């Protein structure tokens, strides 16, 4: 008998055998949407802050190495990144903390 493979014509195993059932097998209810990983969000934020600090330090090293054009380019890029990507969420977070609302 040949080994079962993708070309054997057999159907793949049912979804529940891989732990991906659409409902809870005990209660029969839909588990609902997946919750966000707080650890994943924290790791994502820490990695990006470290990357921003590294780029800032690279700009400072360029300035110390007497390359003001590179320093200006790096700092301009960081400023543009802040304005285009970070400014609106930072303002929302500041307003949320002033109102004392919990995080959504």
Distance of alpha carbon 97 from alpha carbon 23, whole angstroms? 37
Determine the pLDDT at residue 55: 96
pLDDT of residue 41: 85
CA neighbor of 78 nearest in space, from 92, 94, 101, 62 = 62
Query: Could you tell me the two tokens for 55?
Result: 């780029």
Supply the pLDDT for residue 19: 53
User: pTM score, two decimals?
Assistant: 0.58
Token pair recorded at residue 66: 């007497």
- CA–CA dist 88, 59 (Å, integer): 25
The pLDDT tens digits along the chain (104 residues) read: 555 555 555 655 555 555 555 555 666 666 677 777 889 888 988 999 999 999 999 999 999 999 999 999 999 999 999 999 989 998 998 998 899 877 76
């Amino acid at each position: 008998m040949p080994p079962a493979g993708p070309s054997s014509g057999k159907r793949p195993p049912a979804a529940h055998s891989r732990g991906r059932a659409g409902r809870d097998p005990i209660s029969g209810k839909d588990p609902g949407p997946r919750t966000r990983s707080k650890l994943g969000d924290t790791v994502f934020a820490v990695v990006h802050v470290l990357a921003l600090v590294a780029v800032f330090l690279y700009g400072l090293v360029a300035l110390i190495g007497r390359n003001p054009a590179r320093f200006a380019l790096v700092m301009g890029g960081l400023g543009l990144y802040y304005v285009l990507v970070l400014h609106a969420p930072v303002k929302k977070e500041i307003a949320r903390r002033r109102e004392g609302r919990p995080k959504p």
